[in-house]
Amino acid sequence: MTEYSPKKADSSSLPKLSIQSKSSSSLDNDLLYFLKKKWTQFWNEPEFFTFGAERFQGQGLICHQHTDSLFSSTSGFSNYRGLINLCIVLLALSNGRVALENVIKYGLLVNPMYWVRLFVFQGPKDWPCAVLVAASNVFLLTCFGLEKLLSQRTIAESVGRSLHILNLLVILCLPAGLVLYIHPNPVFSSVVLSMYTIIFLKLISYVTVNRWCREHSQSKKSLRKRQKSTSSLSSSGDLADTKYIEYPNNLNLKDFYYFMVAPTLCYELNFPRSARIRKRFLIKRLIEMVILSQVLLALVQQWMFPTINNSMKPFHESNYPSILERLLKLAIPNHILWLIFFYWFFHSCLNVVAELLMFGDREFYKDWWNAESITGFWSSWNIPVHKWARRHLYLPMVKSGYDKMTSSVVVFLVSAFFHEVLQLSYY
């Protein structure tokens, strides 16, 4: 079978182009010449007689090919940024409408003095909370004194352990008992319970690490290895040029109270330190702290309080459809407040404290928004607590012979317990 190759036609073989008109003399001679020329070019064009797809596609004559739709999993398309922007616009419009409806319905409810009155003593019921804040130093110094005695071998290890346990039990139970018995200001008592919970976790880490140091003294080889691993960072300006401390030289009040204020729950003898305080960074975080705190308080007053007050009647009447509707209505402001609080506390507040103390480890959170499971979320959004639970609960249990599932369940139960402790002021 031979390939067809069109030959150039001469003028005698061309189809006759006839133009009929009522008065041929009225047709312009130039127009007739142009039409004849174009007809001749069309007839002699070889591409019109070549049936290869590549010929037509190059000239835009073929417009179809085998292609998957963009939303199909086999298309390989993954850029949905425009849809995300559209969702943000819809979210802004929806919440803007809700905010306008709220102001029209309830008026402007924001009153900064309301929160000032909550934090100011309102009577004798608030005095125990103020006393607990001042008395926290008694428990801190008790722990520090016991560690000094243990380092000097003045008391036996078993005696020191028993006294530490007693001190920790008092720290855990005393504020909770006073709050349940006296029912002081809920906001102020929540702050006190949070403070004592943090102290409890910090002291457990402090006592445990010092016990590890007594049982397993650091060798010179491991110390030189750590100094070598951090020397490159120190020379780059990210870390301060500090001297590394060995046990028991760390047992001093300066080191102890630095750990009590530092934004971490896990004690180390040598924390990573930054070389200087970045003033511009610090000012930005301080501005965020002030503005976002006011936004949080305003949203609670304007958005949460009316919805909660309107939810009391369905709960008392056990009207379950209305209860579900109220819960769904509360879900939106609750999530927004949680997101703002997360940024305010874990980014703004903790970075302010870390910057003032020149604390080098700023990993207070990870990308929990990309978590693929509940476990991934809980291990990403609160890194200080996650590090403490892993270091002082999970890993010791695994090393003691417990399986990973049992250790994870214990960590979950301990976390749930402390969440309930923080809610005691609202009972």
Q: State yes or no: pLDDT of 2 exceeds 50.
A: no
pTM: 0.75
Q: How far apart are CA 321 and CA 328, in angstroms?
A: 11
The pLDDT value recorded for residue 229 is: 38
Whether the Cβ atoms of residue 389 and residue 415 lie closer than 8 Å to each other: yes
> How far apart are alpha carbons 355 and 49 in whole angstroms?
77
Residue with the larger pLDDT of the pair 100 and 54:
100
Rounded Cα distance between 386 and 371, Å, is 15
For 285, other C-beta atoms within 10 Å of its C-beta total: 19
Q: Tell me, what amino acid is at 22? A: K
Q: Answer whether residue 53 shows pLDDT above 70.
A: no
Phi/psi for 359 (5° steps) reads -80, 125
Weakest mean pLDDT among 17-31, 34-48, 133-147, 409-423: 17-31
pLDDT at 124 over 90: no
d(CA 368, CA 378): 8
Q: How far is CA 427 from the centre of its chain?
A: 29
* Identity at 423, one-letter amino acid code: Q
More confident residue, 257 or 12: 257
- Of 127-141, 162-176, 320-334, the range with the highest mean pLDDT is 162-176
Rounded-to-integer distance, Cα 108 and Cα 111, Å: 9
pLDDT tens-digit readout, 358-402: 998 999 999 898 888 888 888 888 999 999 999 999 999 999 989
What secondary structure letter does DSSP report for 290? H
Mean pLDDT of the region 68-79: 82
Whether the CB-CB separation of 112 and 300 falls below 8 Å is answered with: no
* pLDDT of the residue at 427: 66
What digits encode the pLDDT tens for the residues 259-317? 999 999 999 999 999 999 999 999 999 999 999 999 998 888 888 888 888 888 888 88
Residue environment code for 397-414, b if the CB has 16+ CB neighbours within 10 A, otherwise e:
beeeeeeeeebbeebeee
Report the pLDDT value the prediction gives residue 251, as an integer from 0 to 100. Answer: 92
Amino acid 376 reads: G
Taking alpha carbons only, the member of 132, 137, 156, 131 closest to residue 146 is: 156
Q: Which residue has the higher pLDDT, 119 or 386?
A: 386
Residue 127 CA from chain centroid, whole number = 36
> Could you give the CA distance from residue 371 to residue 367 in angstroms, rounded to a whole number?
7
Residue with tokens 């207070």: 364
Q: Does residue 164 have an active-site annotation?
A: no
Q: Which residues have a Cβ under 8 Å from the Cβ of 119 and sit 6 or more positions away? A: 185, 187, 188
pLDDT in tens, 217-257: 645 444 444 444 334 334 444 555 557 888 889 999 999 99
DSSP 263: S
The neighbour count for residue 107, using CB atoms within 10 Å, is 8
Rounded CA gap, 339 and 333, in Å? 10
- Condensed to tens digits (0 to 9), the pLDDT of residues 324-366 reads 888 888 888 888 899 999 999 999 999 999 999 999 899 999 9
Mean pLDDT of 70-79: 81
Residue 110 is predicted with a pLDDT of 83
Q: How many residues does the chain have?
A: 427
User: For residue 9, what pLDDT is reported?
Assistant: 47
Count the Cβ atoms, other than its own, within 10 Å of residue 394.
18
Confidence at 54, pLDDT banded by 50, 70, 90 = low
Q: Which residue has the higher pLDDT, 69 or 359?
A: 359
Q: How confident is the model at residue 144 (pLDDT cuts 50, 70, 90)?
A: very high
Give the position of tokens 């970075």: 351
Catalytic member of 183, 386, 392, 419 = 419
